[in-house]
Amino acid sequence: MNSGVEEAKLTLRRVVGKFALLFAFIYLLALLAVFITAYQGDEVPVSTWLLLVPAGVAFVPAVVDAVNLHRTEDPVRLSKLWKRCGLLAVSGMVLLVASSFITDWIN
């Protein structure tokens, strides 16, 4: 019975990594939208580019941690990784949403 509990913990911790990858993909879609807007000839303010940077800084280590979550079986390492990965992914998403609202307010 104990192995079933441990397997459930492992699965839930890896779900955090999957959400981190999903949030990073959403960030990449937002970044791609800004690049396409600039490519089409529309003016993209410098503030938009600057506001996207902090979210990217949060998502890069979250993705690295998400990959490591799926590669490791060590319970001690897993307990550290999933918390850090979740915190970075949520903070990156908050920064992305805040930057979109701030960009909309500025423009």
Kindly report, residue by residue over 41-68, the tens digit of the pLDDT: 888 888 888 999 999 999 999 999 999 9
Q: pLDDT band at residue 2, thresholds of 50, 70 and 90?
A: low
pLDDT (mean) for 15-35: 95
One-letter amino acid at 38 equals A
**What pLDDT digit, counting tens, does each position of 63-101 carry?**
999 999 999 888 889 989 999 999 999 999 999 999 999
Radius of gyration (Cα) for the chain, nearest Å? 17
Q: What is the pLDDT of residues 21-30, one digit of tens each?
A: 999 999 999 9
Q: Exposure string (b/e) for 91-103, b if CB count within 10 Å is 16 or more?
A: bbbebbeebeeeb
DSSP letter string over 88-103? HHHHHHHHHHHHHHHH
